[in-house]
Structure 1
Amino acid sequence: MDNPAAVRGQHVQSNRVALGVVTAIFFMWGFLTCLNDILIPHLKAAFALTWVQAMLVQFTFFGAYFLMSLPAGRLVAALGYKRGIVAGLAIAGVGALLFWPAAQLHVYGLFLGALFVLATGITVLQVAANPYVALLGPEETSSSRLTLAQSMNALGTTLAPLFGGLLILSAEPRSAEQLALLPAAEALAYRAAEAQSVQVPYFGLALTLFALAVAFWMFRLPTIAGVEDGARGGRLRDALRHRHLLLGVLAIFFYVGAEVSIGSVLVNFLSMPGIGEGLSEQEATRYVSMYWGGALVGRLVGTVLLARIAPRRVLGVFAVMVMVLLAVTMLGSGALAKWAVVSIGLFNSIMFPTIFALAIARLGTLTGEGSSLLVMAIVGGAVVPLAMGWLADHHGLQVSFLLPMLCYLYIVFYAWRGARLQD
């Protein structure tokens, strides 16, 4: 007869190995998502876009979460977590490959189409990987475990701006006014070269995604008893009867919308004359990297905090800190405003994984439905940046930070009231 203690030890060890393997996925989707912050200023210059037009990058990317999360949930339910992750990687790889013809033909709409396919793959990864990590151990440490996995996501978002700044924003940017002074053929050639500079980076990312898909197909991941192994959840409306999930869906919507909005304008905000004191767009990407690096540090620290302090309390305090920093960003100037906005990343760090874990707590066989709804709510990253772009076009970039501040106010409410479990 097997020794129960030895079996438990093997189970814990298997879960730890699985957690280590799945964190590679978190790194990749963080890296790919954060590259949008570099694509926006790049494509804005290459196609002479307004802020609203440029924010269509985020609208398309995060709109895929809304449109594809339910199909992704059905796909993962049919395939299981492991094969769902493999499918997500393959779909994302196809999306990255599509950047090549989009750049070759120099059509902004094709870039948006490629982003939609890429985001569809990441949607499948989100639906599969987030609940898998949350359920890969005791419920009371799910927030800490998911935050640890998300720290690899933050590592990806930290490195992506440096990668993008080196390979995508390496050319000297030219304003619309400067391009207007050039001969038409020369201006067109400049814009075409700008668009094509994304080809090699995204082709390399496509190969990496396909290689990861093959590696995961060959790796043996443990199943989650009672959730993945033959169990079937109820309908979406059954999941939404849980108040903490319903309010958590809104919290994810507002959090992702605020985080993506801030990241989308960082390069342009930091290179403003009154803020960055002469920083070029390429130099500003270093501060974007610091912004996401703060999220990495915060998640590593948060992994420890969340194991010792009630996750709701940590979430509420961090959201209040972000509101204070946004107020300084809006009202300040120079180095004060610059470092305030960069510091937001530190306090953003634990928010997504903590909200996610709080929202799916005690859902049982409805965990899959809850996960799909939470991933669908990532559409906030499509809606809020578009609204912030409109504010920036009409009232100035600095004033537009008021919108994410209101989003964080809701997160304070969710932390202190909305996430409470009903007996």
Structure 2
Amino acid sequence: MIKRNSVSKLLPVLFGFFIMGFCDVVGISSNYVKKDFALTDTMANFLPFMVFIWFFVFSVPTGILMNRIGRKKTVQISNIITIIALFVPFVMYNYYACLLAFALLGIANTILQVSLNPLLSNVVDEKKLTGALTIGQFVKAISSFSGPFISAFAASHLGSWQLMFPVFAGITILSSIWLQATAIEEDESKQKVSTLGQVLSLLGNKTILLLFLGIVCVVGVDVGLNISTPKLLMERSGMQLEDAGYGTSLYFGFRTAGAFIGAILLTKVSPTKFFRLSMVIAVAVLVALIFATDKVIILSLIAICGYSCASVFSIIFSFALEKMPEKANEISGLMITGVAGGALVPLLMGGLSDYMGNQIGSVIIICCCATYLLLCSFMLSDAKKA
């Protein structure tokens, strides 16, 4: 085994999860872009589409590439593309430049998520992988939580919300340097290159298919609440965008707390039971959100949902890696393909919201995703035996 619980190796890998959180800034960004260019919900939701569609396109090829060049080098490629992406809307600001910037950010984030999750398995013991992945999601949640505050500060005090992008670029440069200076061993014997067909054939396993669709839905819930929370607050309580954006931070704040507490609890309780309880709470909350009109109630429901869903991604991902540890790179690429749910779900949300004329349509779509996850949590114990 090459895994060593070395803090000096673990910290730069975990910091990479902070960079991973930058893609969540698309939530508040889509609201600013919608306001600046007077867009419909459907047009504005093409921004998250441009981020997350690349998970469908590049995840499996990235897993194959990772087998050739290694996990660490693949992470560094993602950092370079992230830096380029973050300077585009700062240098040139229009709707199409934003689409380009978030497309590049999506490509970079795809590469990062495929490579960083298995890279973490090189520096922690296998028995602690679920907890370590949850800590990584905790770090990512801190990044996601910070985004709306940074954008609001930039808009209110610096004159332009786009000024947050150079800050994120500088952080990415620091992360890249730190990781490059850290020696991480990778098991060369496991770097057998698979074909695209061989990777996709893993979906023939019932458990892997169930978990793959779970990734699609959990990311759909996450991105859906990210972009719809400010719209709900503006629509139902008359808040201005700069203030409504803090609703997204509240969601990610409770998601951050949930990930931290989840990392502790998952060392003591069954991940499957934890998954089930989390989704029972989430579905109940989302049903209530369809009907909620009071600002305090809306914010409370958003916070509870963020808390309850915080550990679900890492639970699903770790189940998949544990199912076929000998194919960790291929499984990682396949699972991260499911993050394309962040592209599909907002389009469905935008279409139904435009059709209904309000944000109830968005919440209904999110609730459907959570309902699948609830069903998945009860099917999982039997499917894992397959």
Q: What TM-score do the two structures reach when normalised by structure 2?
A: 0.92
Whole-Å Cα distance in 2 between the matches of residues 95 and 129 of structure 1?
19
The corresponding residue for 1:343 is: 304
Name the structure 2 match of 1:72. Answer: 62
Instruction: Report the counterpart of residue 297 of structure 1 in structure 2.
Output: 257
* Structure 1 residue 211: Cα displacement: 3.2
Local SS of the residue matching 2:290: helix
Give the structure 2 partner of residue 222 of structure 1: 185
Which residue number in structure 2 is paired with residue 323 of structure 1?
A: 283
User: C-alpha distance in 1, partners of 2:280/2:187?
Assistant: 36
Q: Does 1:146 align with 2:137?
A: no
Q: Give me the whole-angstrom Cα distance separating, in 1, the residues matched to 2:334 and 2:144.
A: 24
Deviation sequence 1:131-168 (CA, Å, 0-9, x none): 22245434343222210121101111111111112114
- Check whether the contact 1:70–1:372 (CA below 8 A) recurs between aligned residues: yes
Q: Any idea what SS the aligned residue of 2:266 has?
A: helix
% identical equivalent positions: 22
**Cα distance, 1:20–1:212 mapped onto 2, change above 3 Å:** closer
Q: Tell me, in whole angstroms, the C-alpha distance in 2 between the residues paired with 1:241 and 1:134.
A: 25
Residue in 2 aligned with 1:46?
36
CA contact (8 A) 2:17 2:137 kept: yes
Distance (Å, rounded) in 1 between the aligned partners of 2:201 and 2:62: 19
Q: Following the alignment from structure 1 to structure 2, what is the Cα–Cα distance between the partners of residues 204 and 162? A: 13
CA deviation after TM superposition for structure 1 residue 407, in Å: 0.8
Secondary structure of 1:271's aligned partner: helix
- CA separation of 1:19/1:41 partners in 2, compared to 1, >3 Å: closer, same or farther? same
Contact 2:75 2:111 survives alignment (8 Å):
yes
Q: Structure 1 residue 381 and structure 2 residue 342: aligned?
A: yes
Instruction: Give 5+ residue unaligned stretches, structure 1.
Output: 1-7, 172-192
In the other structure, the counterpart of 1:362 is 323
Comparing 371-380 and 209-218, the one that deviates more: 209-218
Out of 8, 11, 14, the residue aligned to residue 23 of structure 1 is: 14
Query: For residue 353 of structure 1, what is the amino acid of its counterpart?
Result: S
> Which residue pairs with 1:402 in the alignment?
364
The letter for the 2-side match of 1:408 is A
From 91, 113, 130, the equivalent of 1:126 is 113
What is residue 177 of structure 1 aligned with on the other side?
none
Residue 201 (structure 1) aligned to one of 161, 164, 168:
164
Contact 1:244/1:418 (CA < 8 Å) preserved in 2? Answer: yes
Tell me which structure has the larger Cα radius of gyration.
Answer: 1
The answer (yes or no) to whether the contact 2:12–2:175 under 8 Å persists in 1 is: no
- TM-score by length of structure 1 reads 0.84
What CA deviation, in whole Å up to 9, does each residue of 1:248-294 have, x standing for no partner? 1111011111211111011121123x3x3x43221222232111011
Per the TM alignment, residue 25 of structure 1 is displaced from its structure 2 partner at its CA by 0.9
Letter in 2 for 1:279: M
- Give, as a single letter, the amino acid of the residue that structure 2 aligns with 1:217: Q
CA contact (8 A) 1:391 1:399 kept: yes
Aligned to 1:189: none
Q: Distance in 2 between matches of 1:226 and 1:150?
A: 29
| Counterpart position of 1:240 | 203
1:160 aligns with 2:123: no
Q: CA deviation at 1:224?
A: 4.4
Secondary structure of 1:223's match? coil
Q: CA deviation at 1:380?
A: 0.4
For 1:313 and 1:25, locate their aligned partners in 2 and report how far apart those are by CA, in whole Å.
29
Distance in 1 (alpha carbons) for counterparts of 2:52 and 2:128: 29
